[in-house]
Chain A
């Protein structure tokens, strides 16, 4: 006889069946479609589409953008977590909600705010034109928009964890004569390293894949201000489906890598991540 706190065998299998069919059809099928479409015309065409001049330029711009945006937000995440977790001050809750703010703004609006500042009719627009500085429709604008949308990722992994950890170890190190930096490098940083990696991982995935915000500020200049997601859009709209899916498959591989490392961190170092990530 089955225990009173579980369902009968056939109900269990029915529910598992529905869930798995849903996940396969709804999540896995799109992923499989990306790779199938990318390889439809064979390996040679696939390699050609990726090594093509404009695609290669887009890959390099995407890597450059992430290489600036991720370290910037990493530095910010560490500073914010240190201030919020190690000290008491008024307005802390408000500060935490403000840090999460970019998540509740539409990506397109995130791009729009920079157009309003740096655009031709924007506040800084005329001054920038006089000094021949290009922000909008150039790399600085793309980096700024990416920093905006990936802003909270590292901070929100570190803040809850460092709050849980308290200040006991830092107190001990300081009372034994360690300096402030030494305490940070030798005591705090090692205790949050996995959460830090976790935040960087998610931050990087979003930075390389951001579309809406970057699309608004980029100007879509082929080979110059096109990131990989924007290049996918251009190829797709020109009906070059194989090329679009070839570039898309690289980003899909990045997503798979991100998910793999993320699951590994949750499984292997779950107790060193913030509480919401341990499952």
Chain B
């Protein structure tokens, strides 16, 4: 039989054409330009790269971008899981509508989200006017950056947890309950381990997206150097000053940092998945 399957496969035409086109297009649009970025930074030398990246302004910008992205992803992990749970397990009016608007941050252009969030959280905005009297300033502070990060990252966690909850076996919950576990124990010890890999995946995706985010943040951030200036904005500023080397250094630092953190999170995810399998 292996013989006939090999012949069957060979019968479909177009392999050379489609793979050739795919590789050419991928190389021209994505791979060569990205490789160019690393070549350019290699040309700067290690010392030049290090000087730019460890300058107080660049360090502050990188810390804000990655710190706010982490905080936003944490908010997403908690509320995203809660929202996914409510959407999957409970029935209430307009559930489909709420399910559909989860993807709004994907569909709404970032500049639109940016000015909308700013107008909401500004001192005279619908939300800002209630927060500011309590001393909570959101717009034009680092907190605003966190809010924007949480906004754009929300769909990731909901959409990775939803299918896991839908497929979770009710029998396991019944078994736990019949063995005397309270509902809270069942949720924490049986259900949570099932969805944890999904939460971590969503967390990682939301984090990666938010760390590089530009459009929805720059309006609400206030963009003060050393305080509320994000790393992508610093790249833009350096480009406007024709400091290509500086811009490239910050960009490479961002790419390397996101890659590193994603590797760590992937490891965590494998650990959570493995723990779950062993426990089950």
List chain A positions with a Cβ less than 8 A from chain B: 4-7, 12, 15-16, 18-20, 22-23, 25-31, 33-34, 37, 75-76, 79-80, 82-84, 86-89, 95, 98-99, 101-102, 104-109, 112-117, 119-121, 123, 144, 147-148, 151, 167, 170-171, 174-175, 180, 184, 202, 205, 208-212, 215-216, 228-230, 232-233, 236, 241, 244-245, 248, 251-252, 254-256, 258-260, 262-263, 267, 276, 279
Contacts and interface: CB of A to CB of B under 8 A. Distances in A.
Interface in B13-37: 13-15, 17-19, 21-23, 25-26, 29-31, 33-34, 36-37
B100 A98 contact: no
Contacts of A109: 37, 212, 232, 235, 251, 254-255
Contact of A236 (B117, B163, B219): B219
B247 to A, nearest CB: 6
Nearest to B258: A104
26 contacts: A6-B183, A15-B82, A19-B86, A19-B87, A30-B117, A31-B104, A79-B22, A95-B23, A106-B213, A106-B254, A107-B212, A108-B232, A116-B37, A147-B29, A148-B29, A148-B30, A171-B11, A202-B107, A209-B110, A211-B111, A216-B236, A229-B111, A236-B115, A245-B115, A248-B109, A279-B162
B116 interface: yes
B55 interface: no
B25 A76 contact: yes
From B14, B105, B120, residue with most partner A Cβ within 10 Å: B14
A170 B215 contact: no
Contact of B244 (A28, A30, A119): A119
Nearest to B245: A121
Interface string B165-181: 01000100110011000
Contacts of A167: 8-9, 12
Nearest to A155: B22
Contacts of A28: 101, 104
Contact of A82 (B14, B125, B244, B248): B14
Contacts of B103: 259, 262
A245 B255 CA distance: 33
8 interchain residue pairs of minimum CB distance: A209-B109, A106-B212, A4-B177, A211-B215, A212-B214, A180-B13, A113-B33, A30-B116
B146 to A, nearest CB: 12
A251 B119 contact: no
A4 B183 contact: yes
Contacts of B233: 108
B29 A33 contact: no
Given A86-B12, A109-B255, A174-B12, A31 B36 contact: no
B211 interface: yes
Contacts of A12: 90
Contacts of A212: 110, 213-215, 232
B110 A263 contact: no
Given A98-B31, A107-B215, A209-B112, A29 B85 contact: no
Nearest to A257: B107
A23 B82 CA distance: 11
Given A106-B211, A121-B242, A248-B116, A255 B108 contact: yes
B140 interface: no
B9 A211 contact: no
Interface of B: 8-9, 11-15, 17-19, 21-23, 25-26, 29-31, 33-34, 36-37, 40, 79, 82-83, 85-87, 89-90, 92, 96, 98-113, 115-117, 119-120, 125-127, 150-151, 154, 162-163, 166, 170, 173-174, 177-178, 183, 186, 208, 211-215, 219, 231-233, 235-236, 239, 242, 244, 247-248, 251, 254-255, 258, 262
A80 to B, nearest CB: 4
Nearest to B36: A116
Contact of B109 (A89, A121, A255): A255
B109 A208 contact: yes
B109 A229 contact: yes
Contacts of B34: 101, 105, 113
Contacts of A174: 11-13
B22 A202 contact: no
A23 B101 contact: yes
Given A104-B262, A258-B107, A151 B30 contact: yes
B163 A279 contact: yes
Given A26-B151, A30-B117, A108-B233, 17 more contacts: A4-B178, A15-B86, A19-B98, A27-B102, A33-B116, A82-B14, A89-B19, A95-B23, A106-B232, A109-B37, A109-B254, A117-B33, A180-B13, A209-B110, A259-B100, A259-B104, A262-B107
Contact of B112 (A26, A76, A229): A229
Nearest to A77: B22
Nearest to A4: B177
Given A27-B101, A33-B120, A106-B211, A16 B18 contact: no
Contacts of A236: 115, 219
B12 A209 contact: no
